[in-house]
Amino acid sequence: MKPYFEDSFTSIYQGHALKVLKTFASESIQMCLCSPPYWGLRNYSGGSEIVWGGNGNCEHEWNITSRYWDNRHASVIASGEVDALGSKKDKRGHIEDNFCLKCGAWRGQLGLEPTPELYVEHLILIFREVKRVLRKDGSFYLNIGDTYASGTRKSNKPQTIAHGNEQDLPLEYSPSRDMKNYQSKCMVCIPERVMFAMIEDDWILHNKIIWHKPNAMPSSVKDRFTTSWEYLYFFGKNSKTILWRNQQTGEWRDTRPTKEENYPWGGRYQHIET
For residues 223-232, give the mean pLDDT: 90
pLDDT above 60 (res 182): yes
Tell which residue, 177, 220, 234, 167, has the closest CA to residue 31: 234
Residues 22-41+116-168+184-239, CATH architecture: 3-Layer(aba) Sandwich (3.40)
Given a cut of 70, is residue 178 above it in pLDDT? no
DSSP state of 196: H
Q: Are 98 and 108 in contact (CB under 8 A)?
A: yes
The string of pLDDT tens digits covering residues 77-127 is 333 333 444 444 444 444 556 899 999 999 999 998 988 999 999 999 999
Confidence of residue 13 (pLDDT cuts 50, 70, 90): very high
Helix (H) or strand (E) holding 30: strand 29-34
Q: Is the pLDDT assigned to residue 169 strictly greater than 70? A: no
Q: pTM value?
A: 0.74
pLDDT score at 242: 64
| pLDDT at 265 (0 to 100) | 58
Of the candidate ranges 21-35, 51-65, 201-215, the one whose mean pLDDT is the lowest? 51-65
Whether 99 and 126 have beta carbons less than 8 Å apart is answered as no
55 pLDDT exceeds 80? yes
pLDDT at 267: 53
Question: Is there a contact between 95 and 22 (Cβ–Cβ < 8 Å)?
Answer: no
Q: Is 25 helix (H, G, I), strand (E, B) or coil?
A: coil
Angle at CA of residue 124, ends 41 and 118, nearest 5°: 55
32 has a pLDDT exceeding 90: yes
Q: What is the residue-wise DSSP string for 99-117? A: EETTT--EEE-TT--SSHH
Going from N- to C-terminal start, the domains of the chain cover: 22-41+116-168+184-239, 243-274
Q: Is 192 exposed, middle or buried (0-12, 13-18, 19+ CB in 10 A)?
A: middle
pLDDT tens-place string over residues 40-50: 877 777 667 88
Alpha-carbon gap, residue 138 to 202, rounded angstroms: 15
Can you give the pLDDT at residue 96? 57
- Element at 134 (helix H, strand E): strand 134-144
Nearest to 134 by CA among 31, 34, 12, 204: 31
